Amino acid sequence: MLRTLWRRYLADRAIPPVAARMSPHIDARIDAALSRLEARFGEAMAEAGRRQDAAERAQARLAEAGELLRAEIRSIANQTSAFDGEALAKLVLERVAQARPWEQSLFVPNLGIAPSVPATFMAYSTCSADDFRTAEFLALCAELAMAPRYHRKIWEWVFIIHHLRRIGAVQPGRRGLAFGVGTEPLPSLFAKDGATIMATDAPAEVGAAAGWDSTQQYAASRDSIRNPGIIDEETFDQRVSYAHCDMNNIGETFTGFDFCWSSCCLEHLGSLEAGLDFVVNSVEKTLKVGGMACHTTEINLSSDVDTISSGETVLYRRQDLTRLVARLRERGHEIDDIKVAPDNNPLDFYVDVPPYLQNAHLKLKLMGYTSTSVGIVVRRGR
């Protein structure tokens, strides 16, 4: 691949074949330098599926080998006027980075073709590839009227559905409250189950300031969350209503619900503590005694010490979530332990890096850290 780019570089500039402009020895040196760079990639690709940091290591190999390539080409360029050595090195490395061969070498099983596998469904609190190959996951994707794929956002929705149903929170006549609903399909599905849903999103000025209104992550009205593939419009209008809600200051009218949920919202409230306070408030301010809350957010898998603690997006460490569990239990509530999945499927070790491939998108590089989705399940005790 790299040697092909080199030949194209020469052809694009109407430069005669290298052998006609410089000695075969120099031509061989260029081929050898490019071969070494390709070999570095081959080594990194061989590790894909065995290491969680395969993509990062591949890019590190690119940077390391790139410096060697630059040095070799500069040395050769100093001996001939046939080409600009620095320009060539930059061009080759940019094209390799754009090609992202570590992704082209990744096989992602088609969930519509690959058979389901026996596994304990949603055994852990974090997004795990094993969940995607189960019959339960495929069935819930069908209920959501979407094609199954390896994406953590779909996992979050399935996590919320599974746990709220498992506990019996979603039933005909029950009342549910959605925070930061965006355009997610859960209000439609829970309304189809017979529940009455209050779907909320941030006040319009907050959604606009955050840019959510331009990325399909913000619901400006009830029409934004209507999903005719799941439920008919008449039933939806009867069972689903919409209101603005500031998650940092939940209004007094949002009370008496049987269940509530949010999908990757609480990390956008300004700080780690603001998100944790929201979880507590969602339980104590909005739910009846015995009511269920189910929230998902981002968990930092790179460190339990360093993280992003404030700003537009924060990244929760395991210690933060463990502290939340203790806090809620001290206040008399029931909460599932945070169980980080052991990650034993090759796709668990792939980290999607910007610009994201989106499939597989179970782990992602976020602000320098490897992260994934994590779920929180709480029952109000008093």
Strand partners, 160: none
Q: Residue 359: what pLDDT?
A: 81
Closest CA relative to residue 220, chosen from 265, 177, 252, 181: 181
> What mean pLDDT comes out for the span 138-153?
95
pLDDT at 29: 64
Task: Answer with the one of 104, 121, 152 that is the final residue of a domain.
Answer: 104
For 334, the enclosing helix (H) or strand (E) is: strand 334-335
Domain CATH number, residue 313: 3.40.50.150
The percent of residues in the chain predicted with pLDDT above 70, rounded, is: 68
Same domain, 284 and 138: yes
| Domain-embedded: residue 150 | yes
Predicted confidence band of residue 18 (pLDDT cuts 50, 70, 90): very low
Rounded to whole angstroms, the Cα distance separating 41 from 24 reads 26
The number of domains in the chain is 2
As given in the structure block, the two tokens for residue 221 are 């009205």
pTM here is: 0.74
Give the separation between CA 27 and CA 76, rounded to whole angstroms.
9
Contact 353/346 with Cβ under 8 angstroms?
no
pLDDT given for residue 335 in this prediction: 98
Per mean pLDDT, which range of 5-14, 237-246, 288-297 is the poorest? 5-14
Query: Is 284 a member of any domain?
Result: yes
Q: Are residues 169 and 81 in the same domain?
A: no
In a domain, 327, yes or no: yes
In this structure, the answer to whether residues 172 and 52 fall within a common structural domain is no
Record the tokens describing residue 70, joined without a space. 């630059």
- 172 and 31, same structural domain? no
Shared domain check, 138 and 83? no
Examine residue 334 and state whether it is found in any structural domain, yes or no. yes
pLDDT (tens digit, 9 = 90+) per residue, 105-118? Answer: 678 888 888 778 88
Residues 61 and 97 reside in one and the same domain: yes
Q: Token pair 């502290």 is at which residue?
A: 323
- 3-state SS string over 286-319? HEEEEEEEEEEEEEECCCCCCCCCECCCCCECHH
Residue 77: what pLDDT?
62
The pLDDT assigned to 166 comes to 95
Regarding whether 325 and 181 lie in a shared domain, the answer is yes
The mean pLDDT value of the chain amounts to 82
Residue 26, domain extent = 2-104
CB 1 within 8 A of CB 62: no
pLDDT-based confidence at residue 44 (cuts at 50, 70, 90): low
